[in-house]
């Protein structure tokens, strides 16, 4: 295990992270304390959207501005996605600790301001500030773990990461509902302060990374601007397409053109920049590129499943919306257990290629099984299907980051972590947009075909109260339509997941750092 203190003779963060071993005892305990602090920060980032989502109806009732509701989420998502690669590069240039602490502080400032918002316009602006800080939280966690823990040893902590994700997805909606009902919606933002304060204190006190030498350089402002513009256009297309605007509308077409031009220009600029935001040479490594593809597909599938599974169980199986997080328990527990086992096996054997393959096979199988659900599918059966999908995600979620980080030089750890995180974020945006558009279209078509009425057909998502008020014939038609929409959404997800399976077959098993002499990852080109 890697010591946290700078070794005599220097060598910078790269040297500290590259040392293959450390004697047991205090150093390992120190690493565990740091990992605990990082997991608290990870929980902070993941809980926020889930808690705030539950409070949104109350927020709209208080502040008004229903027509701008989507921007509360969009502003946060845009700021997070656009800032993620910039945070990663700043960490590579100036050192992880200071940049990471800065992102936490900005996130907390945004949380306080959001809780104090007096109208919807202020809330949207302050959510963007919060998202700006959030962009540095996840990439900071992953990059610091990449610096402190050799890849061979990193599998020990995969279960912790999967556990944090499960806690956030199960507890987020429940905590959000409880806070909103008893303390008011503003505390949905203020609740971040105690968790953030604990993370700040722990990271400040126990994380001691060696000072980075020669990290000063000119920031690639042009590249950062072009990348931000391109990501913004992409996220807006996936957010607005099929909802705010038709997919063939002028606005969507213009956004697609802006995104394509900006990203092409970004690639050109990065080939000339002295300190590129995303060093393009990391994509010459076959494993890194494949992990980026698999990460994108995992994000596509994961967030689509989280969106549509509770909707199906509430609308078709009659489950309570209050327990929407608990409904995902079979998938999340399976994901956590499998991730823990895969991490332990990777640590003990140094082998990992089989896991992306197994994960992709199970992901395709789980999605196909979920696509077969209908109005008569029992909760037990759907739970088994979710467990299959969760097992697939468990094999993939952390292995993708581990292999990606092992595929680059240590000086590019931040850029590699942020790029992998960005691809997963973009995958989730595409997944929600594409699966959502197909789901909504199928539900509306089925409702019209079955005589559900034009007014009902215009809404592809009805809450439990609205569903209960429908005549029995219309309610049955809606349940059939939701089951049909779920079928097409998950069938498309299974088809997309096949790309992850094909990609995983071509992964080359390069020895993990920490299990012997460090490999030279850039030599293994595509």
Between 31 and 112, the more confident residue is 112
The answer to whether 140 touches 103, Cβ cutoff 8 Å, is yes
- Residue 519 pLDDT > 50: no
- Residue 239 pLDDT > 80: no
Work out the percent of the chain whose per-residue pLDDT is above 90: 13
H/E stretch holding 390: helix 379-406
**Dihedral of the alpha carbons of 415, 417, 418, 422, in degrees to the nearest 10:** 130
3-class SS of residue 378: coil
3-class SS of residue 185: coil
Name the least confident of 410-414, 417-421, 425-429.
Answer: 410-414
Largest Cα separation within the chain, whole Å, is 78
- Residue 12 pLDDT > 80: no
What phi and psi values does residue 69 have, to the nearest 5 degrees?
Answer: -55, -45
- Distance between alpha carbon 279 and the CA centroid of its chain, in Å? 22
507 φ/ψ sector (left φ>0, alpha ψ -120 to 50, else beta): beta
Q: What is the pLDDT of residues 47-105, one digit of tens each?
A: 777 777 667 767 777 777 666 666 777 788 888 888 888 888 888 788 888 888 999 99
- Distance between alpha carbon 138 and the CA centroid of its chain, in Å? 8
pLDDT-derived band at 108 (thresholds 50, 70, 90) equals very high
- Residue 118 pLDDT > 50: yes
Q: How confident is the model over 337-352, as a mean pLDDT? A: 81
Q: How confident is the model over 153-157, as a mean pLDDT? A: 68
Least Cα distance to 292 among 415, 402, 399, 424 occurs for 424
Burial of residue 53 (number of CB atoms within 10 Å: 0-12, 13-18, 19+): middle
- State the pLDDT at residue 293: 92
Class of 1-218 in CATH = mainly alpha
- Residue 184 pLDDT > 90: no
Q: What is the pLDDT of residues 486-506, one digit of tens each?
A: 888 899 989 989 999 999 999
H/E stretch holding 97: helix 96-115
- Residue 214 pLDDT > 50: no
Q: How confident is the model over 421-445, as a mean pLDDT? A: 81
- Residue 351 pLDDT > 50: yes
- Residue 526 pLDDT > 50: no
The whole-angstrom separation of Cα 179 and Cα 184 is: 6
The answer to whether 475 touches 467, Cβ cutoff 8 Å, is yes
The whole-angstrom separation of Cα 150 and Cα 397 is: 18
CA atoms within 13 A on the CB side of 270: 21
- Residue 320 pLDDT > 60: yes
3-class SS of residue 353: coil
pLDDT-derived band at 521 (thresholds 50, 70, 90) equals very low
What phi and psi values does residue 285 have, to the nearest 5 degrees?
Answer: -80, 125
The whole-angstrom separation of Cα 391 and Cα 304 is: 16
403 φ/ψ sector (left φ>0, alpha ψ -120 to 50, else beta): alpha
Residue 245 carries which DSSP code? B
The string of DSSP letters for 117-154 reads --SHHHHHHHHHHHHHHHHHHHHHHHHHHHHHS-HHHH
- Residue 228 pLDDT > 70: yes
Q: How confident is the model over 337-356, as a mean pLDDT? A: 83
pTM of the model: 0.76
Q: How confident is the model over 147-156, as a mean pLDDT? A: 72
The whole-angstrom separation of Cα 415 and Cα 143 is: 9
The answer to whether 87 touches 208, Cβ cutoff 8 Å, is no
Q: Count CB-CB contacts under 10 A for residue 113.
A: 17
- State the pLDDT at residue 338: 86
The whole-angstrom separation of Cα 223 and Cα 493 is: 33
- Residue 522 pLDDT > 80: no
Burial of residue 227 (number of CB atoms within 10 Å: 0-12, 13-18, 19+): buried
Least Cα distance to 143 among 509, 424, 420, 521 occurs for 420
């Amino acid at each position: 295990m890697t010591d946290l203190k700078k070794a005599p003779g220097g060598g910078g963060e790269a040297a500290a992270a590259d040392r293959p071993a450390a004697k047991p005892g205090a150093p390992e305990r120190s690493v565990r304390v740091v990992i605990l602090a990082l997991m608290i920060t990870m929980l902070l980032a993941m809980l926020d959207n889930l808690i705030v989502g539950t409070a949104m109806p109350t927020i709209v009732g208080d502040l008004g501005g229903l027509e701008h509701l989507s921007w509360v989420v969009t502003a946060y998502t845009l700021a997070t996605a656009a800032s993620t690669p910039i945070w990663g590069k700043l960490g590579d240039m100036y050192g992880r600790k200071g940049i990471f602490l800065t992102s936490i502080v900005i996130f907390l400032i945004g949380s306080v301001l959001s809780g104090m918002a007096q109208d919807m316009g202020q809330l949207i602006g302050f959510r963007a500030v919060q998202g700006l800080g959030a962009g540095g939280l996840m990439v900071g966690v992953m990059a610091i773990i990449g610096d402190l823990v050799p890849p061979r040893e990193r599998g020990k902590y995969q279960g912790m990461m999967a556990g944090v994700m499960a806690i956030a997805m199960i507890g987020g909606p429940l905590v959000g509902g409880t806070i909103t009902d008893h303390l008011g919606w503003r505390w949905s933002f203020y609740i971040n302060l105690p968790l953030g304060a604990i993370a700040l204190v722990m990271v400040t006190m126990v994380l001691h990374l060696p000072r980075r030498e020669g990290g000063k350089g000119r920031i690639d402002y042009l590249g950062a601007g072009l990348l931000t513009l391109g990501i913004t256009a992409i996220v807006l297309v996936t957010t607005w397409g099929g909802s705010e605007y038709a997919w063939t509308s002028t606005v969507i077409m213009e956004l697609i053109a802006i995104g394509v031009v900006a990203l092409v220009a970004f690639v050109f600029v990065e080939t000339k920049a002295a300190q590129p935001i995303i060093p393009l040479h990391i994509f010459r490594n076959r494993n890194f590129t494949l992990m980026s593809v698999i990460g994108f597909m995992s994000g596509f599938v994961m967030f689509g499943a989280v969106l549509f599974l509770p909707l199906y169980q509430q609308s078709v199986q009659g489950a309570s919306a209050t327990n929407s997080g608990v409904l995902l328990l079979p998938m999340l527990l399976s994901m956590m257990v499998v991730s823990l086992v895969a991490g332990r096996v990777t640590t003990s054997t140094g082998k990992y290629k089989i896991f992306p393959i197994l994960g992709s096979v199970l992901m395709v199988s789980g999605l196909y099984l979920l696509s077969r659900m209908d109005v008569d599918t029992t909760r037990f059966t759907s739970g088994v299907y979710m467990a299959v999908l969760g097992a697939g995600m468990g094999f993939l979620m952390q292995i993708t980051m581990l292999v990606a980080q092992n595929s680059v030089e240590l000086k590019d750890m931040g850029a590699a972590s942020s790029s992998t995180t960005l691809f997963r974020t973009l995958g989730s945006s595409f997944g929600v947009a594409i699966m959502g558009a197909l789901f909504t279209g199928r539900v509306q078509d089925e409702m019209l075909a079955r005589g559900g009425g034009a007014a009902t057909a215009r809404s592809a998502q009805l809450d439990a109260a609205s569903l209960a008020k429908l005549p029995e014939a219309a309610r049955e038609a809606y349940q059939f339509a939701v089951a049909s929409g779920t079928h097409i959404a998950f069938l498309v997800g299974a088809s997309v997941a096949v790309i992850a399976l094909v990609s995983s077959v071509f992964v080359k098993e390069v020895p993990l750092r920490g299990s012997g002499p460090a490999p030279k990852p850039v030599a293994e080109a595509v």
